[in-house]
Each structure stands twice: as structure tokens, then as C-alpha cells.
Structure 1
Amino acid sequence: MGSKLMLSLDSPVVFFDIFDTLVTRACGSPQSVFEYVEQRAVDEGLAAWGFAAKRLDAEKESIEAVGAGKMRLEDIYLRLERGFSREVAKQLMDYELQAEIDFCIPVPSGIDLFNHCVQSCKLVVLASDMYLSKEAIEKILANCGIEGYSKLYVSCEYGETKRNGSLFKLAMVDLNVQAGDITHLGDDLFSDYLSPRKLGLNATLLRFGKPISPLRVFVDRMARNIFPSQKTKCFANRYETVNPSVCYKVGYSILGPILAKFCEWIHERKEDEGIDKLFFVARDGYLMKRFYEILYSDEQCEYLLASRRSTTVPLLWLNEGLEGFVGTAGLGYEMQLSELLTRLGLDGDEAEELSLKYGFVPSDRLRVDDLARNEKFASLFGDVAPAVKKNSRLEFEAMGAYFKSAFKGCRVVGFVDLGWRGSIQHALETAFVELGMDIAVKGFYLGVSPKSRWVDRQDMRGFLFSKGKEERAASDEEWFNALVEAFFVAPHGSARRYRLDDSNRATIDFESYEADGENVSSPLFAVQDAALEFASDYKTRNWSRYNFIDIMDAAKALYSLGLKPSREEADVLGDCVFAYQEILPLAKPSRTLFHYLINPRDLVSEMSVCYWKPAFLNRLLKLPINYWRILKTAKRLFRGNNG
């Protein structure tokens, strides 16, 4: 943080404001705290409907009755007893005090400055215009790791305020210091800047611990009055104070809250449905498992090393023929030839030789519904079918050894994955039947495609969307599906195949990690780190008791990112690589706009394989328009013109 400010603090005495200078409410304003208190109280059976609004009114009445400087929390709740019983009011006050402790988080840059002053042997004093007692504020400070200050002055303890200057005067007399020896640091234009300067103190305005000009504070204050903020409760204060980067914002305020509710949803069903153990499926389950174990550290979970290729190739021998391959392998609408050969268990040089032999190149894209009518592919398939069947049986034996070891002692398991069609779960259940393993599988997904061929055949549930649940959201998510999957990348390659070692124990071959030796995926891991930090705060600060996460708000923020990314979001995340059938950046134009205007076929070709099209156009055209709407309309017109 501003080393210049640190160096300029020549005053032997430094006063610090507290709220939004050293600590801030992660949920935003005090009004948000009241809303969460109301929600908690109602959830716990208290007759507290309407508390948040009444709490605001009671504070206004208390200011008029006793004055802002003398007002205590008890004065506010004395007036609330007219709307609630004395017992309920007392319980609500206790909840509010606890909520302030739970939701107040440190402001890192402000605390850096505070620690610098303490370590420089300055006399460090804290001063706040606040209705909370000195004892309550001391608990908040201790919970945020703030210690080493010499004295704490709270307006309600003395009946004096910073705003009118009387609290500063009292502190100067009490400490026997002169105004010119003091520098005061805080965020309020009047209480922390104009008032102390009027008394001769040095004063500097800070916003979340960082210097800001008085003019900027004044302009921002006027703007808030004219244009009230529509910001959702997505923990803006947290990422603004800790790290204002795109990655931290996405991880802490979007992905973190969604995963918290997803994990709670899974946990409730695990408890209610007698599930023996949860299996988080690689690789998407890597982050999910880490997040879940932070929230429920006493539960034993497993990380199941599996992929579409590793679980479907071992089953190909059960359903022979091209139709059997399509039905078993869980193929998409259109596939690259190289991926189709991988799903047959054919790799490397062998796959490349077959491509050339039958007049293909590995990057050729084939419609899955047309494979049986594609003479070249049908001939290729007929040629390799015997070898595919033989290899499939070998891999099935190895997969069976892995599954018998992993699921030993289980009767009902929870299968946790990102989504979307449930092909790995289907392969797992098919293998259990063939292996004689009597295990029921319950699938828990962030989302389930309503178009999945298995959605009605197996127990698979989508948290955000599924068949009959937010189906439009499922359709919209397809526009940024790769971005969501990229957020769940694990620091290892996909499971490729199961093998048996010399002792007949299962081992696993992995694909090479697509981001090895590159920094292109570091933003994704930064997003994950921020999400895990949210999990830690959610657990240690007891945020679950307030039921404050509106999953619809969190989902809207995710969809806004995916469908209408800002230029900064598109730039930061668009360079990250993603691997499905090709290893490509999520949204990175390879040429200039001028080039595409001259060579439109290059643009069409690049857009056809782009994983995150709205961000691609955002980076290319650099205009503040809704690219997703344009893409959606273009897609609809294209389909209309083609039948």
C-alpha cells in the first residue's frame, strides 16, 4: 500500500478510524447486517418479520431522542420493544452483536499502515463514532487480528463525536497531546477530514485503507445520492479491500457463494438419504472436494480418478457395432475425428495412421448422428472393431480392479461432478452391474442438461438447472460452458486409462497436462484460491447461520460474466487455455479486426471452434454492446435458413 503515505507519517501520534478503514463489513452496509439478522431470527423460529426496517426506524428515533454521540445499541433496542417483545428484542440484539463480529473482516492495506505505525513506536489511537460498545468493538478488532493500539475512543462511551470535533478534543486532553502532533486517518469526509483539520490535526482520507482525495470522496458521495447503487450482495467490500482483480472478484463473490450453497445442498441430501460416502469425480471435482472439506472437515470424501474416455472405452465390448459405440461413449453433437478415435481407445501414431489411411485429417469434424452414413468412417470402424473390443475387455478388467478397491464397503454413494449429461455416471452404473457390485449411485451436479439421454434413466440431480428446472438457464449456459468448466481445472491431466500392474493392482495413466510449462491458466487458479478463501471465511465466521446467499443473485452474476463479460473480464480470462477436443484459449482472437474484415472466412473458422464467443467478440470489436444477443439472433437465423 502507499509507501509514500507511510513515509509521510511524521506525526508521533496517529489516530485511526475503524469501520471501512481497518475493518469493513463483508456483506456491505449495516442495513445488510439487519437483513441477515432478520433472516437468521426467522429461520430459528423468532417472530421477527420486518425487523430490518423497524431497526432502521428505531435508530433514527434514538438519534432524535438522545443524540448521535450518546446513542447506544441498547437505546435503539429499547425503542424496538414497541414492535417486539422484550425477550425477542433481547435475542435480536444479541444476534446483531454476533453478526457484526461475524461479518466484519480486516482491510489488509489499512492494517498494513496500522502495523507500520505500531512498529514505528508511534502512539496509535483508534476513534469511532459508533453505537456499539467499546467491548463489542474490541471483540471485532481482536477477531480481525488488530492489536497494539494504545487506546480506543468510542462516541457512545463518552457522549462525544468525531463529527463535531468533541471526541478529538477529549482524546487530546486525555492523552496530553497537541493537535499538531496528530495525524488522523479515516474514510468520512466530514468526521475524518474536515472536522480534525478544523481543530489543527493533520488528516488524510483513506478508502479501504488507501489514500483518496477529498474531492473524489465528495463526488462519489454526491453520485451515490443521485444514483443509488444497484450492487448485489456479492461481497463487494471483500474483493475491493483485499484484491480488486477480476480473478479475486469472480472467485470470492461469484464462484465461492455458488459452491457454498451447492455443497450445503449436497450435504443435506447425504444426511437425509443415507449416503455412505461422497465421490468427487476428477477433474472437475478437485476444487469441489477441497471446498466441501473446508465446510465439512469431519467427513471422509474420495477423489475418483475417472474421465469419459477412461470409463467408456472399457465398456465398448458390451455393445458392439457403430450404434453400440455411439450409445456407450456419450458423444456430443459434433466431434473431431481425433476425439472419436480416442473414445475408441486408439491413441497417438495409430490414430494418425488410420486417419490418413481413410482419407481424414485428425482435425476433421463429424456429426455424430451421421457416423453410420459416413462411408469412410464406417469402413474405418469396421477395420478397428476387433482390436477395439479386445482392448476394451483388458481395460474393463483394470477398471473393475480400481472400482472394487475405491468403492469397497459402499452400498449407496454420492457421485459429485460438474455436469452436464451424466455419461460418466452412466458408465459407472453399467460397470457396477457387470462387476456384480450392488451399489446405488446418486448423482449431484452443478447442472444437468435437460437434453441428456440419461436424465430419466438414472438418479442425477442438477443444482442450478436440470430437466424441468430452469431449462432456459441450461440453454444459456451452453454459451459459456467452457468457461465454467475451466474454473474447475485440476493441476493434473485427465485420467486416460486403467491398467493392471504386475501384482494385478489398478494403476492409472494420465493425459499430459494441457497447461504444463505455461502461465496461461494461472488466472484460473487465482479464481480457485479466492473461492477457497470464501469457503474458509464462510466456515470460520459462521456465515452459514445467516442464510444470506441468494443463489439466484449469485447465478445471475455468473451468467452476467459468461454472457456479457466486461472488457477486463474478457481480457483476463480469455487467454486461459481449455482442452476439450482442441487445446485453445477460451476467447482470444488470433488476428486483427482489419484482417478479419478482409478475410471473413478466417473469422467464421475461428468463431466456430471458439469456446467463449461473447468474450471473443468483446475483445475483437471493443464496443460496449450485448454480443450475446447478437450471437443468439445470428444462430436462430442460421438455423432458420438451414431448415
Structure 2
Amino acid sequence: MNITNTIVRLAAPYPAVAFDVFDTLIKRDVAKPTDVFLLQGTDFARARVCAEQAARAQNTGEITLPQIYAQPGMEKFDPAEECAWENKVVVPYTPVQEAVRLLRAQGKRVYYISDMYLPPEQIAAMLDRCGYPPFDGGFVSSAYGVQKRSGALFRRFLRETGFKCGDVLFVGDSWRADVTGAALAGIRSWHLPTEPPPETAFPDSAVQAFTANHEAFVSGWGDRLGFTLLGALEVAFCQWIHARREEHPEAGLFFLARDMYLTREIYHRMYPQEETKYLEVSRRSLCPCLLAQNEKELVAAALPRQRLTGQQIADYCGASCPEAYRQKTYMLKTKEGQEALPALLDALQPPREATLALAYLRQSGLRAGDILVDIGSGGTTQFLLQKLLGVSLYGLQLSGDARLRERFSEEETSVFLSLQGADACLYWVGQPMLERMISQDVGATVGYRQLGQTVCVCQQPQNREKRIDELQRGALRFAEEWQNSALSGMRISAVAAIMPFLRMVRCPRKSQVAFLGRIQVEDGGTYTLADPKKLRHYIFHPVEMKRDLAESRWKIGFLQKLLPGPLPYGRLYLGMKKQKER
């Protein structure tokens, strides 16, 4: 529904239009009105809720803010501070704001009517902060002692403005106070459709409210997707990194390329006073050095756990491959593939520049005890760096699988996301996509070269993907708006941060699959996330469908795009995974 057009169309016969204020003209960046109190602390929130209940018990009509603060237990609190917090958390509801602008341009009289204990001056200040022009009048229950829900405030509005009840359309979000209350006064109303409140409790619900409210200010489909899927996740991850770094103040902070590019960009915006470094290493860039040192087990750990030919493995190590091994296939996920690998590695000839990786690491200043930030899983990059340098490092991983604890103690690495069951399964379904979304949009680091006294990075050529720029721009926008909001001092939990992404992975919208599906990711090769051919093609070429589905790195999205409809692809996929695990 286009809310703006609907309001303007319905208002056409009426000379005056009146609006509810909260959840209609303006939104709060919290899920419930009482959550504003929690921003001032739990002690205040507890006392404030009790005081309002007591004030309402003592009065039959609407209450005022001074009556609330006159209650026992509120002596040490200042009502001006509550008003200031109310002012900080409000944003305009953009579809309604645009409708107000169009109605004013048509010459209609525009008013607001609100059941609220806050004084009228405070409501006017909040509307002004949200960018509304002066209204023709405002009617707040605290000034009149009567409420909308009884119809009395609407009747007072009619008496003071001189309008007849048939002259006015009222717009509000509450069936009880707005629709029924207006009807009791004979005024026609339109119920503004609203989203159900978040099921989670504060503060996670505040993150959801903030995201929903501010998404409306972001232009561009890709930007909005990045805002909603990546913004809270990156801010929460950076908050967590900052807290861990405070426990190791002497350690250098290294963000590993390419995966941690966006994280570092957001970290700089949140903590501009802190020095960080960008370490351009990859498992692939370290393989030539490992091969030259005859570290076969480490090379095996660095290789993608995929089906690769001898030539592909040689290319990954920057080495030349003898003819006899080029077409031989190695299933590196299997025990047989791992056992066959040493013979190939013995036959490979490492490049002359193999040891430049060590020179680059010395040049970077990486030393014992420094912090490495990575997307994680098995912590392979940290594992290889520690072996190459012979030092212990401290890893901060976005996520981790069972290999992480096989390699590191809790003193050597910490993990931000601790997911279990279906959530963990969905995360690994979407991990290649997430990695691509937050990575620097350049080719992989494949090696190093000497340029004078400096060791420079060699990157694989790669075409830039416009959609990645849009997604990252949206995430950066979230971080900036969060830092400038009343919620900036609040920690975002890992659960609240990752849930929007997991929901999208499990039940993507058609538009989301269309936008993300063609993005290519690297996973031992280059694969498309979810870009099937037409169904009629697969009817005549079923083998191609099996191959394309196997190569897709977002199989839920692949099936949803291939067979659009109400089928629960995410649930079916999870069911198959559980059956396989059993």
C-alpha cells in the first residue's frame, strides 16, 4: 500500500485532516513508550512506571507530567530530562510526513490530536524536530483533561475549530483510541496500518525499531538492503572488538584483508581515535612460502576444501605443475584426497618470490600478542601466521566452527557469534554471501613483489561489482546514524545483530534473490550465489540443474528463484540437513 497516496485520496472531500501523533506522524527508536525510560537507567524506569500508574489511579481524566513527578519516589528525577530523551528518540514517519506536505500544498487545514501526558509544548517541539511545518492547531489530552478514546477530545476539537464532524478526516494507528474514539464524535477515520511490535525485549527490540524507522531515509534498493542486513551486525561486531581491545591495550589491531574491509571502515567511524592496520594476507598468498619451507601439512590446511585439479592447486600455490599431475583430481574434503596431496606438493616448484611473504609480514609490524580480526570459521589464517612467525596472536573471529577450538585455546581466540542448531546451519548457508558483502571489492591477495625497499601486494584482477558498493554504503549509513542517535551508547547483542541476515537467508523475498543472486563469490573457485536458468531449460536438461544447484552457494535462494511461490524452501533445506546429519 502507498500510504501517502491513500491518505491524500481519502482526504480529497474534506477541508480538514487531523492526525494522531505517536506512531502516526512520528515514530520512536524504541519498540514501546516505556522503553524510553530504560535509556535513562533501570532505576528510573522502574520508578517512572510506578509513578504513572499511581497518578492514573488518582485521576479519572488524562494526567499530566507534573502529576507523575509529584508521586513518591520521583523527587530525585527531573522531568526535563525525560522530555529531552523523548526529543532524542523521535523520527518522522516519512509516508505520513509526505502526505501532510501534499495536503498543505492543496490548501487543506491540518491538525494533530494526541492522547499524551507530555505538555503541548513538548509535542510541538518533537514535531518541529522531525521537520514538520507549523500545524493549524494541536490538541493534546494533558492540556484538556480528556482523551480521544472517550470521544471527548475529538468533540473538544470540533468545538474549538468550528468544524462539523463531516468536515474532518482523522488518521491514526490505534483501533481503540483513534478509530473508535473518532467514531464516538461522528468523525470519519482511517486506520493507519502498522507493523506488529518486535517480539524481542529491550534492548534488542530497540535495534529493530531503529532499523525499521531509519531505513525509510535511505535511498536505493541496494543501500537499504545493506542498511538492514549488515548495519547492526557490523556495529555490534565493532563494539565487541573495541571491548576486547580494551582488555589488550598494548596490542596492535590488524584487520585481515579482504574480508574485514567494511568492518575496519565502520570501526574507524565509531572509534576514530584508535590506530588500526590492514594486513593484506590470504591463505593463498601464504601458500608459496609454506611450499618453499616444505610445510606440507600447513599447505594442506591452507587449500580450499573443495574438489581441485593438480593444476588448480599449483596455481593456488603460485607454483609450476608437472604434466603428470595437471588433470588429476583431488577431493580435499575426503581422507583419500588429503593422503594423495603430499605427492603432488613434492612435485610442485615454488616461485622465486615465495619468501617475500615473510618480508611483508615483518614490514607490517605484526608481533606477538597482536590482535587479528577475521571473519573466522576455522581461524586458518591466524593458524598459518602463527606457524610462519613462531609467535602467538590473539584472534577475534566473527564466527567459528569446530576447527577453531581444535587449534586455539580461549586465550588465543574469541568468537562474536555463538550460534546453535538451525541458526548455525543458516549462517553457514549464507556465510559465502556475507563474506562477499563485507569484503573489499578487489581481487584476492595472491602474492608479493619487491619494489625498492618495500614489499608490495599482488592482487588477482577482478571487476568491481556495483551491488557490493551499494550494500556497503548502506551499512556505513547505518553506522553513522546509529552514532548520531540516542541509542549510540547501547550495546547491540550478537543475536539482534545477525537475525535480519539469517531471516533473509532462510526466507528471502523475490526482490532480495533478484538483487543478490547474480553476485559471484570465491570458494575454491568462482561461483554464483543463486542464478538458475529458466525452469523450462532444466526440464530438457536435468543434468544441468543438478550441476547448477550443486555449484550454487545459496541453494535456498536458487530454489526460490527457480520455483517462485509460497513453498518453505528454508524449512525444507534445514530438514534435509538434519536428516543428513542423523
TM-score by length of 2: 0.80
Give the C-alpha shift of residue 487 in structure 1.
3.0
- Rounded to whole Å, the distance in 1 between the matches of 2:298 and 2:568 is 48
Match of 2:131 in 1: 145
Give the superposition deviation at 1:446. 1.0
**CA separation of 1:618/1:58 partners in 2, compared to 1, >3 Å: closer, same or farther?**
farther
Quote the residue 1:360 is aligned against: 327
Question: Which residue in 2 is equivalent to 1:612?
Answer: 554
Asked if 1:343 corresponds to 2:316, the answer is yes
Whether the 8 Å CA contact 1:183–1:203 is kept in 2: the answer is: yes
* Equivalent residues of 2:425, 2:574 under 8 A apart: no
- Which residue number in structure 2 is paired with residue 629 of structure 1? 574
For residue 375 of structure 2, what is the aligned residue in structure 1?
Answer: 418
Partner of 2:348: 384
1:308-360 CA-to-partner distances (Å, cap 9, x unmatched) read: 2224434432x316445325xx22433423652333114xxx7xxx5876351
What letter corresponds to residue 450 of structure 1 in structure 2?
A: A
CA distance in 1, matches of 2:175, 2:120: 24
- Aligned equivalents of 2:478, 2:168: Cα separation in 1: 37
Q: How many Å separate the matches in 2 of 1:461 and 1:364? A: 33
Q: Secondary structure at the match of 1:262?
A: helix
Structure 1 residue 618: Cα displacement: 4.4
Tell me how far 1:157 sits from its aligned partner.
Answer: 1.8
2:460 aligned with 1:508, yes or no? Answer: no
Cα distance in structure 2, aligned partners of 1:470 and 1:25:
33
The residue aligned with 1:488 is 438
Please tell me the residue identity of whatever aligns with 1:445.
Answer: Q
| Shift, 1:72, TM fit | 1.9
- Give yes or no for the alignment of 1:133 onto 2:106: no
Specify the SS of the correspondent of 2:265: helix
* Structure 2 CA distance for aligned equivalents of residues 109 and 131 of structure 1: 26
Question: SS state of the match for residue 605, structure 1?
Answer: helix
Sequence identity of aligned pairs in percent? 23
Deviations 1:404-453 (A, max 9, x none): 2x439x885332221122232334445555xxxxx874221111223135
Q: What is the distance in 2 between the residues matched to 1:174 and 1:31?
A: 32
SS in 1 for 2:446: strand
Partner of 1:213: none
| Aligned equivalent of 1:579, options 518, 522, 535 | 522
Q: What are the equivalent positions in structure 2 for 1:10-409 lying under 5 Å apart?
A: 13-34=16-37, 36-37=38-39, 41-42=41-42, 46=43, 51=46, 55=49, 59=52, 62-68=55-61, 70-78=62-70, 81=72, 85-87=73-75, 90=77, 96-118=82-104, 123-171=109-157, 174=160, 183-189=169-175, 191-193=177-179, 196=182, 204-207=190-193, 230=199, 233=205, 235-236=208-209, 238-239=211-212, 242-243=215-216, 251-252=226-227, 255-317=230-292, 319-320=293-294, 322-323=296-297, 325-327=299-301, 330-337=302-309, 339-346=312-319, 354=321, 358=325, 360=327, 365-367=331-333, 369-371=335-337, 373-374=339-340, 381-385=345-349, 388-397=350-359, 399-400=360-361, 404=363, 406-407=364-365
Please say if residues 258 and 555 of structure 1, whose CA atoms lie closer than 8 Å, have aligned partners that are also in contact. yes
Q: In the TM superposition, what is the alpha-carbon distance from 1:20 to its structure 2 partner?
A: 1.6
Q: CA deviation at 1:279?
A: 2.5
> 1-side partners of 2:185 and 2:246: how far apart?
62
Distance in structure 2 (CA, Å) of the matches to 1:413 and 1:147: 54
CA distance in 2: counterparts of 1:139 and 1:440, whole angstroms: 56
Q: Which residue of 1 aligns with 2:397?
A: 445
Please give the alpha-carbon distance, in whole angstroms, between the structure 1 residues aligned to 2:372 and 2:120: 50
Q: In 2 relative to 1, CA 540–513 (structure 1 residues): closer, same or farther, beyond 3 Å?
A: same
Partners of 1:26 and 1:237 within 8 A in 2: yes
Whether the 8 Å CA contact 2:261–2:438 is kept in 1: the answer is yes
Q: Secondary structure at the match of 2:372?
A: strand
Q: Does 1:588 align with 2:541?
A: no
Inter-partner Cα distance in structure 2 for 1:414 and 1:113: 51
1:538-574 CA distance string (max 9 Å, x none): 3212314455x44335445544444565666555544
Q: Assess, with a 3 A threshold, how the Cα gap between structure 1 residues 454 and 297 changes in structure 2: closer, same or farther.
A: same
- Distance, in Å, in 2 between the alignment partners of 1:574 and 1:562 is 11
**Superimposed CA distance per residue, residues 67-126 of structure 1 (whole angstroms, 9 cap, x where no aligned partner):** 45x3123434555x3xxx3446x36x6675454334322212222223344566655433
Counterpart residue type for residue 580 of structure 2: K
What residue number does 1:641 align with? none
The DSSP-based 3-state class of the residue aligned with 2:240 is: helix
CA offset at residue 396 of structure 1? 4.1
- Change over 3 Å in CA distance of 1:275–1:17 after alignment to 2: farther
Letter in 2 for 1:509: C
What 5-or-longer segments of structure 2 have no aligned partner? none
How far apart in 2 are the matches of 1:207 and 1:290?
Answer: 37
The structure with the largest helix share of the pair is 1
Q: Give matches, 1:458-473, under 5 Å.
A: 459-465=412-418
Q: Which amino acid aligns with 2:399?
A: G
Report the residue type matching 1:495 in the other structure.
Answer: T
Assess, with a 3 A threshold, how the Cα gap between structure 1 residues 602 and 10 changes in structure 2: closer, same or farther.
Answer: same
- State the AA in 1 paired with 2:480: S
Cα gap change, 1:141 to 1:302, in 2 (>3 Å) = farther
2-structure distance, mates of 1:312, 1:98: 58
Deviations 1:466-515 (A, max 9, x none): xxx969965663333223323313333333322222x333333322335x
Report the counterpart of residue 482 of structure 2 in structure 1: 538
Tell me if the contact between 1:188 and 1:205 (Cα under 8 Å) persists in the aligned partners: yes
Partner Cα distance (1:181, 1:256) in 2: 45
Count of matched residue pairs: 568
Q: Kindly indicate whether the alpha-carbon contact (under 8 Å) linking 2:373 and 2:396 is maintained by their aligned counterparts in 1.
A: yes
Hey, what does 1:640 align to over in structure 2? Answer: none
Letter in 1 for 2:530: A
Distance 1:10 1:472 in 2: 53
Give secondary structure in 2 for the equivalent of 1:461: strand
- Deviations for 1:350-401, whole angstroms, at most 9, x for unmatched residues? 7xxx58763518x975447545643xx666544432xx1523024544x24x
Contact 1:72 1:132 in 2 (8 A): yes
What letter is aligned with 2:59? V
Q: Secondary structure at the match of 1:136?
A: helix
